[in-house]
Amino acid sequence: MRYYSTRNKTEAVGFAAAALTGLAPDGGLFVPGEIPEYSRAVKSSLGSMSYQDIALETIKLYVEDDIPGVILEELVRAAYPFGSPLVGVGDRLVLELFHGPTAAFKDFGARFMARAFSYLRRGEDKPLRILVATSGDTGGAVADGFFGVEGISVTVLYPKGRVSPLQERQIAGLGGNISALAVQGSFDDCQRLVKAAFADAELRKRLELSSANSINIARLIPQAVYYAAAAGKAFAGKLDEDGPATPRKPNAAPAPAYRLQNTPITLCVPSGNFGNLTAGLYALKMGAPIKRFIAATNINRTVPDYLESGNYETRLSQATISNAMDVGAPSNFERMSAHFSWEQMRRIILGASVTDDDTRKTIKAVHDEYGYFLDPHSAVGWRAVDQLKSLKAFDDSPLAILATAHPAKFAETAENLTGPLPVPPSLKKAMERKAAALTISAELSALKEVLV
């Protein structure tokens, strides 16, 4: 598999170079020369395969030139002692992506990346410095995934005062080879600083840099796995039992029976930087039984507006209670548009935007009616479905909402609406940490000064 920049299709590199470089030299994002397709045997077995086996069959198509099969199997088995339960809630399904160590979907990409980087850099003497910008959950997942990995240090940039207290403890509470910078600005400023650092000749000469945001293709590819797993499961007419971190009240009414078998599923994706949705598009192109996507944003509705008008206009991000989605200039839109035209996107993606007020109402309503706890991001997805259903924007085929983070990560918002939240053990441990971050201005000079 060869990878090229979204801004230059004439020069291609292998997976190792694309992953370890992170951002292409011309500032573009690496994309595969072609999106591979599952074999007929794998397509027909998605509903019965284990999560680890689907991960192996998915990821190997992108990395087989650089990671031997026996090594890849070891990496996958180590990365995923957890899965992604597909459970019923009310009249729809929820794909729970918070059963990993930091209780957010970013664990699926970060844990594979850390293990892949360690293998790909075997024998290297010069340490690797990973720069990552986060609007919330990415930083914690990357910090946890790379913590203690020899020869790699991580610097996480996050917008000061715009992440939850628990997220800050996950980002800035580990120490060791993980350092945290609280940037006086927005997520877009953090992302701009990371991109500027990669483009700075003096800095690149001094340090060996890479990224762990969804701008890195190695973070994005593993996220295609849970789309394929969920779609295959639903197509086979299967649902999961509640997992250990499922945030459902013990006395909640059981979910009704769902008609699923032999029907492609619609997946609603709470969206900010659009790496998650891009991974879903890869799964669709690979042959997973997916009918369409819903791109659910908060008031930062750059992509929904594009889907409606065909005009892509970035804007300054606005702060919301679904802070991980506060992105006005989503990086991965560049990947989406490299693979799909506007007309193609409109056929497979519906857009919707949700206010904070409606997000709060949804958290309360779902809890009161179904005994299920939603975090603010997943609540944006739930309300987006409500909006589109009221407009009769799609038929009554199976539909699942991606629950991207455990609600206990946003207790400051959710508990006022639902009462006490269930807290998984991984988050109880993180709550005991003390955050230690350095505050810097949103200037490249300030970042360069602390990168030693």
Q: What is the pLDDT of residue 369?
A: 95
Q: What does the pLDDT look like over 218-228, one tens digit per residue? A: 999 999 999 99
**Does pLDDT of 9 surpass 90?**
no
- CA torsion, ordered 63, 65, 70, 72, to nearest 10 deg: -20
Q: Residue 220 class from Cβ within 10 Å (0-12 exposed, 13-18 middle, 19+ buried)?
A: buried
**Does pLDDT of 123 surpass 80?**
yes
d(CA 444, CA 428): 36
Q: What is the pLDDT of residue 342?
A: 97
Q: What is the pLDDT of residue 365?
A: 97
Q: What is the DSSP string of 345-378?
A: HHHHEEEEE--HHHHHHHHHHHHHHH-B---HHH
Q: How confident is the model at residue 75 (pLDDT cuts 50, 70, 90)?
A: very high
45-50 long-range contacts, Cβ below 8 Å, gap at least 24? 45/232, 46/228, 46/229, 46/231, 46/232, 46/233, 46/235, 46/236, 46/288, 46/289, 47/232, 47/233, 47/235, 47/236, 47/237, 47/238, 48/236, 49/229, 49/232, 50/83
Domains of the chain: residue spans and CATH = 84-102+222-426 (3.40.50.1100)
Percentage, residues of the chain above pLDDT 70: 100
Q: What does the pLDDT look like over 353-398, one tens digit per residue? A: 999 999 999 999 999 999 999 999 999 999 999 999 998 888 778 9
Contact present, 414 and 375 (Cβ < 8 Å): yes
Q: What does the pLDDT look like over 268-301, one tens digit per residue? A: 999 998 999 999 999 999 999 999 999 999 999 9
pTM over 0.75: yes
Q: What does the pLDDT look like over 231-272, one tens digit per residue? A: 999 999 999 999 999 999 998 888 888 888 899 999 999 999
The H or E element containing residue 243 is none
Q: What is the pLDDT of residue 393?
A: 82
Contact present, 395 and 361 (Cβ < 8 Å): no
Over range 5-18, report the average pLDDT.
93
* Range in 203-207, 306-310, 445-449 the model is least confident about: 203-207
Q: What does the pLDDT look like over 309-333, one tens digit per residue? A: 999 999 988 989 998 898 999 999 9
Q: What is the pLDDT of residue 136?
A: 73
Q: Mean pLDDT in the chain?
A: 93
Cα 146 to chain center, whole Å?
17
Residue 248 DSSP symbol: B
d(CA 419, CA 89): 19
Q: What is the pLDDT of residue 253?
A: 82
Q: What is the pLDDT of residue 251?
A: 87
Q: What is the pLDDT of residue 402?
A: 98
Q: What does the pLDDT look like over 40-54, one tens digit per residue? A: 999 999 999 999 999
Q: What does the pLDDT look like over 161-172, one tens digit per residue? A: 988 888 899 999
Q: How confident is the model at residue 11 (pLDDT cuts 50, 70, 90)?
A: confident
Q: What is the pLDDT of residue 164?
A: 84
Q: How confident is the model at residue 420 (pLDDT cuts 50, 70, 90)?
A: very high
Contact present, 59 and 72 (Cβ < 8 Å): yes
Q: What is the pLDDT of residue 197?
A: 93
Q: How confident is the model at residue 73 (pLDDT cuts 50, 70, 90)?
A: very high
Q: What is the pLDDT of residue 264?
A: 95
